[in-house]
């Protein structure tokens, strides 16, 4: 298209320029005599054609700029600096100055700067942006950490193993860039057609000029205008404006509704969609843990279980603790004073309320630390876990009192959206980095039967 536009506008412009120079030389006037129009000038033809094409390209660039926001957001996930131990000094260095083998300190609330292996300490890390795992993951010495993930609770030191373009997040950014820069198969066909179309149009235009000027005997002006007309009419300049405008409106409307459209090709093929794959965390679910169940096992009321659990968790830094504390706060549960509070890494917490010492945490805490059996309550606990919930148990040294279940809950609109798509005959899939049991539990709540679990970002 650009070749035809360039030839057509160039012929119109230079022919008009030569005519104008001749008119000025013969009439000694820069404007038409007595206000008359200078004949055979076609500057406006060239100007309007170029203006429309440039406007089209501007609108297309603007539409593409919207989709590039995805890459900018991914880049925003990267840490800008790292706290590096070198010799006896602890230095805050720009991320590009970190080298493999550096020991890096990460404090609570900070982003992990690069990929590496923990050498000292431990924490709970939010890896949802990489793995899709909705709940923070406990990390200890010799565990791998991923650059861009968020440290929730403890401080730790890790050894940098992958830096710069080698990190997991950089690889994801590269995948998105490659996806946005890729060509659809139809574009290759269009390129092959244009390789023949443009020379054919130029040949027909030259033939038209020759017939009018040499055979019919028309004037040079008329013959050149016939030549230009063939080129301009054959050129799909309307598409140069209409197509980018349609892309801009389509991608803009999609962006307003939270849908990222890579460009014209995906937009064009949207009408042919027969299957949709939804990510779980933050798409079908809210992306943050909430209390879903409170169970009593030893005569205490559910309110009393929640009161003791929330009192203990108020002093904890664990992400699940925040969910329990907020739930109690919303229910106006009065919290008790806790003495001798202590966190037990990887297990849970303990503390004294009144004169009784309570333990609150996972199965390991109750079985390995408190030394109580959970066989009597296994069925209830398993039932909750099969629904994709994380179960925390409340106990004293003598008995298990109850349980609190926490899960990443489904958005209110997810089931309705899935049903609407299924009614249109579209197959709906759910893909997640979460474990199979949690994935199936969430999928069943929204009516999805096709589930892909434990899928890494590059596999997505």
At 138 the three-state DSSP class reads: strand
CA–CA distance, 351 with 349 (Å, rounded to integer) = 7
Handedness of CA 353, 359, 362, 366 (dihedral sign): negative
CA R_g for the chain: 34
Distances (CA, A) of 443 to 278, 409, 422: 10, 11, 14
Q: Of 164, 166, 168, 165, which Cα lies nearest the Cα of 145?
A: 168
The single residue listed with the structure tokens 């198969």 is: 185
Q: Of 114, 229, 201, which Cα lies nearest the Cα of 161?
A: 114
CA–CA distance, 290 with 421 (Å, rounded to integer) = 27
The single residue listed with the structure tokens 């300490």 is: 121
Name, in order, each residue with C-beta under 8 angstroms of 183's C-beta and a sequence gap of 6 or more. 265
CA–CA distance, 264 with 113 (Å, rounded to integer) = 36
Active-site residue (options: 143, 279, 303, 336): 279
Strand order in the sheet with 137-139: 137-139, 123-126, 150-151
The answer to whether residue 102 is catalytic is no
CA–CA distance, 46 with 31 (Å, rounded to integer) = 20
Strand order in the sheet with 89-94: 89-94, 81-86, 103-106, 156-162, 115-121, 144-145
* CA count, 13 A, side-chain hemisphere, 31: 3
* Residues carrying an active site annotation: 279
């Amino acid at each position: 298209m650009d070749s035809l536009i360039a030839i057509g506008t160039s012929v119109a412009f230079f022919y008009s320029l030569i005519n104008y120079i001749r008119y000025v030389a013969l009439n000694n006037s820069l404007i038409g005599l007595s206000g008359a129009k200078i004949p055979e000038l076609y500057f406006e033809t060239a100007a309007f054609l170029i203006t429309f094409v440039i406007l089209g390209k501007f609108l297309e660039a603007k539409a593409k700029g919207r989709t590039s926001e995805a890459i900018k957001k991914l880049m925003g996930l990267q840490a800008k600096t790292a706290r590096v131990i070198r010799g006896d000094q602890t230095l805050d260095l720009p991320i590009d100055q970190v080298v493999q083998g550096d020991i890096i300190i990460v404090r609570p609330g900070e982003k992990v700067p690069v990929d590496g292996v923990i050498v000292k300490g431990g924490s709970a890390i939010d890896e949802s942006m990489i793995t899709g795992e909705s709940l923070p993951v406990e990390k200890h010495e010799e565990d791998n950490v991923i650059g861009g993930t968020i440290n929730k609770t403890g401080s730790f030191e890790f050894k940098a193993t992958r830096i710069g373009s080698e990190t997991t997040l950089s690889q994801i950014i590269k995948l998105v860039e490659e996806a946005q820069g890729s060509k659809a198969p139809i574009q290759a066909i269009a390129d092959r057609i244009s390789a023949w179309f443009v020379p054919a149009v130029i040949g027909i235009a030259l033939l038209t000029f020759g017939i009018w000027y040499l055979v019919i005997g028309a004037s040079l002006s008329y013959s050149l205008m016939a030549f230009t007309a063939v080129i301009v009419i054959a050129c799909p300049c309307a598409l140069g404006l209409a197509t980018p405008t349609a892309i801009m409106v389509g991608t803009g409307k999609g962006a307003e509704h939270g849908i990222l459209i890579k460009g014209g090709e995906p937009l064009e093929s949207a009408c042919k969609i027969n299957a949709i794959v939804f990510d779980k965390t933050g798409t079908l679910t809210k992306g943050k843990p909430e209390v879903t169940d409170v169970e009593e096992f030893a005569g205490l009321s559910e309110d009393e279980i929640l009161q003791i659990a929330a009192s203990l968790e108020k002093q904890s830094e664990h992400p699940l603790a925040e969910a329990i504390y907020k739930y109690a706060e919303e229910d106006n549960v009065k919290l008790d004073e806790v003495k001798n509070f202590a966190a037990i890494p990887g297990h849970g917490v303990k503390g004294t309320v009144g004169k009784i010492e309570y333990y609150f945490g996972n199965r390991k805490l109750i079985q390995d630390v408190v030394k109580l059996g959970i066989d009597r309550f296994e069925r209830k606990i398993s039932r909750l876990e099969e629904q994709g919930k994380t179960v925390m148990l409340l106990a004293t040294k003598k008995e298990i009192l109850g349980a609190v279940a926490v899960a990443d809950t489904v958005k209110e609109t997810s089931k309705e959206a899935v049903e609407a798509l299924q009614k249109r005959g579209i197959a709906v899939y759910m893909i997640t980095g979460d474990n199979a049991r949690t994935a199936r539990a969430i999928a069943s709540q929204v009516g999805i039967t096709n589930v892909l679990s434990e899928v890494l970002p590059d596999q997505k």
